[in-house]
Amino acid sequence: MLATRCASGHKPRVIPAPVSRIARPLAARPALVAPVVGAAAAAGFQPLALWPLTLLALAWLLAATRGAQDWRHAALIGWLWGLGHFTLGNNWIATAFTYQAQMPAWLGWIAVALLSLYLALFPALAALAARLLERRTGADSRLAHALAFAACWIVSEWLRGWLFTGFPWNPLGAAALGGFDRPGLARALPWLGTYALSGLVVLLAAAWLGAWRMALARRFAPATVLALIPAGLMLLPLYGDPAKGTLPFTLVQPNITEDVLNNPANFESQFRKTALLSLPRHPGERRLVLWPESGIPDFLRTGYPQYLYDETTFAADPVMARERIGRVIGRGSLLLSGTQDLEIRDGRILGARNSVTAIDADGAIRGSYAKAHLVPFGEYLPLRWLLTRLGLSRLVPGDVDFWPGPGPRTLDLGDSAKGGWGRIGVQVCYEIVFSGEVVDEAHRPDFLFNPSNDGWFGAWGPPQHLAQARMRAIEEGLPILRSTTTGISAVIDADGRVVSHIGHNVAGRIDGSVPPAHAPTLFSHLGNMLPLGWAIGLLGLSLVATRRRAR
């Protein structure tokens, strides 16, 4: 038998002899194994979607941090686990460095490593807090530890999405999302929220750990039941066909790759390619036309210095540019497209806005939205005064930084039942990953439009981005339409199903009707107070489990 004792004075933990030959080297050096196990957990995200590896890797993390010598070692194991987890999960960031000339491409992997060093602090925080709670309460209960760890994970993941503007990419709950035709365990998002779903995934991993321990004790029947429960929940089907909507749309994916997208010599050919995919099937048909982020290279607003208009191949006059767009989409149509607006004072460009502009068939601007959550190093350079001296720059071409917009807004473009185009919430690209920050609840939209340019992000970024958009749809009970430059563009219903899509690196269009919204969800009313409330509840249950154990 192999026995271990915690520095906190807990009872010895005994591992049966047949297992000790495998467990002894891993138990003696968990810090060496932790990065590899953390990377295995990231395999549960898209595009691999190997969720059993996520549960197994979390089960190992629970056992390793609880069995650590003290809280310092628990935090170290959590940090090393997170280092491997975020390095693999965010590998797509390195691809972005291959599309600019001002910095070497190899710097992309340095950026991934540095970001992972920071992001790994959040799993370390969860492990540290759970261990300190266990020590403070004198608990020696695996159930109490699992409940406390799940609660701490919820809080740490929420902090990751908030501190320093936040980077909530790939929450643990994303591994619980099923295939295109079913949301799986993510069906619980309206009642949990994304961060509490991540806590539930931790508890499912704890169930597998418990099943393993039961199997070692030759309690095979309860071990089998306990192992099958998480699997059954992760594979939950979704019954019924997608509901039909009434607002017609045409969604376009032009497949304009990043290596040519920002070259002015290609602007006219890019416009023509997008325009040909957008032509109406029938003259005068009423529809909403959706183009991606970076969909229009021309400046569409008046009042800029003339040299800026002259830099494009067509739009020396912004009014002419808008009228040409109106002729493309045809009578009865309205276009929503990614554009750029400038902030100019005294003839000087001070900043830019990554915007979505609504243009009708007459070429009139009917509304606009400016992106609020900007991408560090992509749309602005933090600490510019220092980093430029070190030779760093933005990944997106341009000499000025983008400025953030005011946050979620709903474009009211008229009642769709009376010939309008509905109330449309807009989230540009990366913004869609911020749970609880995508909808103006005072003016709840009929659906969300998520234009994006995913051409930067290789093979892993686009499917992960789509997965997180699906989570927002379920969480808020709203359909989401995604138009991207190179894929994956998709129509997502309010249950998180991908009703139709255009694959990666394919040019095409989707014609259909916008799926209907559900009634406002519990999460849409409470926002991230809901998952934080679940964290408090789990901590309370942990204390109850501790006291029952003490008796």
Q: Could you read off the pLDDT of 149-195 as tens digits, one per residue?
A: 999 999 999 999 999 889 999 999 999 999 999 999 999 999 999 99
Could you tell me if 264 and 329 are in contact, meaning their C-beta atoms sit under 8 angstroms apart? no
Say yes or no to pLDDT of 59 above 80.
Answer: yes
The confidence score (pLDDT) of residue 251 equals: 98
Catalytic residue, from 134, 429, 475, 476: name it. 429
Give yes or no: 429 in active site. yes
The confidence score (pLDDT) of residue 101 equals: 53
DSSP 111-170: HHHHHHHHHTHHHHHHHHHHHHHHHHHT---HHHHHHHHHHHHHHHHHHHTTGGG----S
Could you tell me if 378 and 96 are in contact, meaning their C-beta atoms sit under 8 angstroms apart? yes
Say yes or no to pLDDT of 114 above 60.
Answer: yes
The confidence score (pLDDT) of residue 349 equals: 86
Give yes or no: 273 in active site. no
Question: Which range among 221-230, 241-250, 308-317, 393-402 shows the weakest confidence by mean pLDDT?
Answer: 393-402
Q: Answer with the residue of higher pLDDT: 29 or 23.
A: 29
Cα(409)–Cα(194) distance, integer angstroms: 22
Could you tell me if 341 and 370 are in contact, meaning their C-beta atoms sit under 8 angstroms apart? yes
The reported pTM is: 0.91
Say yes or no to pLDDT of 102 above 80.
Answer: no
The confidence score (pLDDT) of residue 183 equals: 94
Q: Answer with the residue of higher pLDDT: 69 or 355.
A: 355
Q: What is the mean pLDDT of the chain?
A: 88
Identify the band that residue 96 occupies on the pLDDT scale cut at 50, 70 and 90. Answer: confident
Q: In 356-434, which ranges are continuous DSSP H helix?
A: 384-387
Say yes or no to pLDDT of 24 above 90.
Answer: no
Could you tell me if 16 and 216 are in contact, meaning their C-beta atoms sit under 8 angstroms apart? yes
Cα(523)–Cα(97) distance, integer angstroms: 37
By residue count, the chain amounts to 551
Q: Could you read off the pLDDT of 403-429 as tens digits, one per residue?
A: 899 999 999 998 888 888 999 999 999
With tokens 């629970």, the residue in question is 62
DSSP 279-299: --SSTT--EEEE--TT---S-
Question: Which range among 67-81, 97-111, 126-140, 297-311 shows the weakest confidence by mean pLDDT?
Answer: 97-111
The confidence score (pLDDT) of residue 266 equals: 85
The confidence score (pLDDT) of residue 311 equals: 73
The confidence score (pLDDT) of residue 9 equals: 44
Q: Answer with the residue of higher pLDDT: 11 or 467.
A: 467
Question: Which range among 55-64, 345-354, 436-445, 456-465 shows the weakest confidence by mean pLDDT?
Answer: 345-354
Could you tell me if 524 and 439 are in contact, meaning their C-beta atoms sit under 8 angstroms apart? yes
Give yes or no: 293 in active site. yes
Q: Could you read off the pLDDT of 468-479 as tens digits, one per residue?
A: 999 999 999 999
Q: Could you read off the pLDDT of 208-233 as tens digits, one per residue?
A: 999 999 999 999 898 999 999 999 99
Identify the band that residue 7 occupies on the pLDDT scale cut at 50, 70 and 90. Answer: very low
Q: Answer with the residue of higher pLDDT: 493 or 306.
A: 493
Residues in contact with 394: Cβ distance below 8 Å, sequence separation at least 6, in sequence order: 377, 378, 379, 380, 381, 401
Could you tell me if 491 and 499 are in contact, meaning their C-beta atoms sit under 8 angstroms apart? yes
The confidence score (pLDDT) of residue 237 equals: 85
Say yes or no to pLDDT of 515 above 90.
Answer: yes
Mean pLDDT over 461-484 rounds to 97
Identify the band that residue 140 occupies on the pLDDT scale cut at 50, 70 and 90. Answer: low
The confidence score (pLDDT) of residue 118 equals: 95
243 exposed, middle or buried (CB, 10 Å; 0-12, 13-18, 19+)? middle
Cα(37)–Cα(320) distance, integer angstroms: 57
Say yes or no to pLDDT of 37 above 60.
Answer: yes
Say yes or no to pLDDT of 326 above 50.
Answer: yes
Identify the band that residue 28 occupies on the pLDDT scale cut at 50, 70 and 90. Answer: low
Pick from 145, 213, 265, 273: which is nearest to 546 by CA?
145
Mean pLDDT over 327-350 rounds to 91
> How many other C-beta atoms lie within 10 A of the C-beta of residue 304?
15
Mean pLDDT over 277-294 rounds to 93
The confidence score (pLDDT) of residue 401 equals: 81
Catalytic residue, from 293, 379, 475, 476: name it. 293
Q: In order of start, what are the domains of the chain with their CATH numbers?
A: 28-239+530-550 (no CATH), 248-515 (3.60.110.10)
